[in-house]
Amino acid sequence: GVCPVCNCVCPSGPALLFVKTSQGKEEGRRFYACSACRDRKDCNFFQWEDEKVSETRLAAREEYNRNHQPFFTHRQNVERYKNFVLLPLSKRRFCQECQQLLLPAEWEKHSDHQFLCDISTAQLKSPSRLMYPLENKKTNAQYLFADRSCQFLLDLIIDLGFRRVLSVGTPRLHEIIQSKASQEEDFRVRSLLLDIDFRYSQFYTEDEFCHYNMFNHYFFGGEAARETCRKFLYQDNGERVIMVTDPPFGGLVEALASSFKKLMAMWKEAEGGGHNSQEMPTFWIFPYFFESRILEFFPSFSMMDYQVDYDNHALYKHGKTGRRQSPVRIFTNLTPSMIVLPVEEGYRFCTICQRYVSSGNQHCEMCNSCTSKDGRQWKHCVLCKKCVKPSWFHCNNCNCCALRNHACEKTDAGCFVCGKAGHKRSTCPSLSHA
């Protein structure tokens, strides 16, 4: 939430309330910090909840926020784009340093910058390939779907009968939909992109893109942008719409879940509550090791075995074997048996689990489910009464399975943040109370 007294806002919108926990202590001191940037180097906004803020500091903060606004508004960018597409190819330039489409009158100002020339219509329809991906892991983490995954997602969406896609942080899926819609007359799917990367406003109208922060459910375009989103969800009484989201993996699950629930609530209002107890159909794309956290907030979700991979991520590439397969999965509230995975990539249907699983995921009769999470075949431990990774062995000291060369004495040391056993500092639930 936002502090009602001093209106804690940074360039990413309303700040979130966090708790600073000390080892082993239950209660910590609460503070406001940037919702989107986990690293102080990217946004140094910080304020204790009980701190009195001086008028001078408030004025300085407002000034800072004003100076960090984009140079052009979305509407101005739309006008600039209309002028840009009228230019002959030889006059179409994109400044790589400013990440901006340039009109001839602006060339002089960017003369000492690197730019790309002869920007084709195809390049304009694929802005995610034209622009640099923002790869700051803690803020943008703009890893873009590989073509294989993007095409699979689109085919799946079409096969399931969806006609509108709310693309939350999935620019590549959005652009493939937009591109097909403009080229193929009988292509019926439409997309609305919600993304924190304002650069996309140069390529999409206000009906196609909303500048949005998924960590605090903040529409930078205010009520008009919120209305655009609402209208998109309300179309056809909210029927045949799916939300597809691919958040930065370093993001707080709790903050993300809160925003997604608000988007779902927006959809639910579309028919005046006529959707009964139904949830808005959703694909949340996230690593498998967050499964328990996601299910905590969305018990109706289940994890699919499909490995989502990315173009510009060194580790999350398809076709690798062993440990370096992509850990990224699709979490969905749709019936698992409806999610048909490509047989040619080794996925098969398990009739007992009633879902598609990866080739290495063998059904365990004792667990009565296909237990592997990472694509390798897991093994059942009778003492732990569950399946574990193939590289783990039962340790009698710890009374659980672990890697063969683990240090036993460290297992009961517990988490550095809260002192409890069973998890590391990075996955501590106390850390994620936003």
Q: What is the pLDDT of residues 107-152, one digit of tens each?
A: 999 999 999 999 999 999 999 999 987 654 444 456 788 899 999 9
Residues 6+ apart with CB under 8 A from 258: 217
Share of the chain above pLDDT 70, in %: 77
179: left (phi over 0), alpha (psi -120 to 50) or beta: alpha
Which pLDDT does position 382 carry in this prediction?
A: 86
Which pLDDT does position 138 carry in this prediction?
A: 44
H/E element, 285: strand 282-287
H/E element, 235: none
pTM, two decimal places: 0.82
Residues 6+ apart with CB under 8 A from 139: 36, 37, 38, 39, 42, 43, 248
Report yes or no: 23 and 420 within 8 Å, Cβ to Cβ: no
Residues 6+ apart with CB under 8 A from 129: 123
Give the chain's largest Cα–Cα span.
74
Mean confidence (pLDDT) of the chain: 83
d(CA 26, CA 5): 27
Report yes or no: 84 and 123 within 8 Å, Cβ to Cβ: no
pLDDT-based confidence at residue 315 (cuts at 50, 70, 90)? low
Could you give the C-alpha distances from 326 to 64, 153, 350, 385, in angstroms and in order?
40, 16, 22, 27
Structure tokens at 78: 């739309």
Residues 6+ apart with CB under 8 A from 180: 187, 189
Tokens 């009778």 found at: 382
Structure tokens at 229: 């989103």
d(CA 351, CA 355): 7
User: Per-residue pLDDT for 181 more than 90?
Assistant: yes
d(CA 176, CA 154): 8
d(CA 290, CA 294): 6
Report yes or no: 332 and 339 within 8 Å, Cβ to Cβ: yes
The backbone torsions φ and ψ at residue 190, rounded to the nearest 5 degrees and listed phi first, read -125, 155
Q: Which tens digits make up the pLDDT trace of 37-83?
A: 666 666 767 777 667 777 777 777 777 767 667 788 999 999 999 99
